[in-house]
Copies of this chain bind each other. A is one copy, B any other.
């Protein structure tokens, strides 16, 4: 039996992946646990939700990633809790002992206690989420096409995106492109460009983490795409067929079917479980507050990294939930673990190197803030493209995605526009039934012209 230390890493996102990778030459045994069999390139998940990319383009099987790393094994398993006293991870179907533990289970959408909203306004965190959102968006146009009642038709063509951060902005911009370009000439009874897209945020600006100049430019780009941007508006109620907004004392109820949640995030529930088990604290967003070396207080054998960790930068600001932060934290923790193996006590605290941030609004439009340099428009979008392509984990995925993007750009096409899975039962006034009454069944095209 080996005397090697057993490092258990929970979560194969950017943070977990980089811990494992950076430990490839370390004298440890690593077990990577994940609920999914793939690493997900989350920054492009919105492209799957809008039919531009296939799930496999942005997901790499974890086993494939670590196939050659002999000190690592991958287990497809669901972690349900922690037993730090006995140094064990509790699984749905067993338990697993560790010498060192890295928890990187990420974040989920925060519905601020209104968990019922989750069914009506799904968030975008997993492949399954993306396919569900894709199904809802595409089905909405299909239902509008079959709907004769103009009020109900308008409702099908109304899309509300809650939260004007990077994900919400990307979704709104891409949805506008689909409605104005991709679906053009595909329908006979509706004009998809009539779609009404609302981007709602409780704060005063879109992409509010960016400097005002960039945020303003993003707003202008969104409005140029006919997106109805509603800043300073609170969502007070969501039903399957409406969103209620409040601005000062004004209340507006928007009839719609497709609602997407891209508002605040909170640490995954496992963060709370770990905090309770270790007497650690969490911040308001459910992120576990770690030491400067990313260890859990009083538990030098446990690290928390990625979106689940609350880490403050030198100026006291919480680091944002971004892939570069997670990647750097992962690499840092791998080095701390290697120091610990050598019994080196002196480790310098984690410092995030901000190489810049960027967000895209859609085809040919983005904003970038790189060490104070600000970029907008096509230039920023090209930078965004190149940087995201470089980052995609596997060589094949990179080329495939490049190919697919180039194609989409030239043709405005989105090839992954499949409706799969099961649809809920909506109440509609089907076009065909009403057509019987108006006796216009023989000429659906002519009927369209007259309507």
Q: Name A's B-contacting residues (CB within 8 A).
A: 1-6, 29, 31, 36-38, 54-57, 59, 61, 63-64, 67-68, 70-71, 73-77, 91, 93-97, 99, 127-128, 131, 138-139, 142, 145-146, 183, 185-189, 394, 396-397, 399-400, 403-404, 407, 411, 413, 415-421, 428, 430-436, 440-446, 448
Tell me, rounded to whole Å, the shortest Cβ–Cβ distance linking A356 to chain B. Answer: 30
| B415 and A404 within 8 A (CB) | no
Cβ-defined contact, A93 with B57, below 8 A: no
Residues of B within 8 A of A55 (CB): 54, 416, 418, 420
> Dominant SS at the A interface?
mixed
Beta-carbon contact of A436 and B95 below 8 Å: yes
* Chain B residues near A428 (CB-CB < 8 A): 93
Listed by A's residue number, 24 A-B pairs whose Cβ atoms lie within 8 Å are A1-B442, A1-B446, A2-B442, A6-B444, A29-B445, A59-B418, A61-B186, A61-B417, A63-B183, A63-B187, A64-B417, A67-B185, A70-B445, A73-B188, A76-B145, A77-B146, A94-B430, A94-B431, A95-B433, A394-B415, A396-B407, A396-B411, A396-B413, A397-B415
Report the minimum CB–CB distance from A409 to chain B (whole Å): 12
Query: A418's contact among B56, B396, B411, B418, by CB below 8 Å, is which?
Result: B56
Is A432 within 8 A of B95, CB to CB?
yes
Copy total for this chain: 2
Contact yes or no, A185 B68, CB < 8 A: yes
Given the interface contacts A138-B37, A403-B399, A432-B77, does A413 sit within 8 Å of B64 by beta carbon? yes
**Complex contact A94–B433 (CB within 8 A):** yes
Determine if A73 and B445 form an interchain contact, defined as CB atoms under 8 angstroms apart.
Answer: yes
In the bound assembly, the distance between CA atoms of A59 and B441 in angstroms comes to: 29
Those 4 A-B pairs whose CB atoms lie nearest each other, nearest first? A94-B433, A54-B54, A56-B416, A2-B443
Q: Which of B91, B432, B442 contacts A75 (CB 8 A)?
A: B432
Interface centre among A56, A59, A127 (most CB of B within 10 A): A56
In the complex, residue of chain B having the shortest beta-carbon distance to the beta carbon of A139: B76
Do A146 and B75 touch across chains, with their CB atoms under 8 A apart? yes
* Contact yes or no, A440 B1, CB < 8 A: yes
Q: Are A145 and B413 closer than 8 Å at their CB atoms?
A: no
Chain B residue at minimum C-beta to C-beta distance from A97? B441
Please report the C-alpha to C-alpha distance between residue A29 and residue B443 in the assembled complex, in whole angstroms: 6
Distance between Cα atoms of A310 and B37 in the complex (Å): 44
B145/A75 in contact, CB under 8 A: yes
Across the interface, do A142 and B76 meet the contact criterion of CB distance under 8 Å? yes
Indicate if the CB atoms of B93 and A433 lie closer than 8 Å: yes
Q: With A37-B138, A54-B56, A420-B131 in contact, is A432–B185 under 8 Å at CB? A: no
Which residues in B have their C-beta under 8 angstroms from that of A417? Answer: 37-38, 56, 61, 64
CB pair A396–B420 under 8 Å, yes or no, is: no
Whether B29 lies near A442 (C-beta < 8 A) is yes
Bound Cα distance A54, B131 (Å): 13
Contact assessment for B5 and A442 in the assembled complex, using a CB-CB cutoff below 8 Å = yes
The complex places the Cα of A6 from the Cα of B444 at a distance, in Å, of 9
Q: How far is the CB of A431 from chain B (nearest CB, A)?
A: 8
For the complex, give the distance between the alpha carbons of A418 and B131 in Å.
Answer: 13
Q: Is the CB of B127 within 8 A of A418?
A: yes
Q: How far is the CA of A240 from the CA of B428 in the complex (A)?
A: 39
Question: Nearest Cβ in chain B — how far from A335, in angstroms?
Answer: 22
- Asked if A56 and B6 make an inter-chain contact with CB atoms under 8 angstroms apart, the answer reads no
Q: Which residues of B contact A3 (CB under 8 A)?
A: 442
Q: Contact at B415–A56, with CB atoms within 8 Å?
A: yes
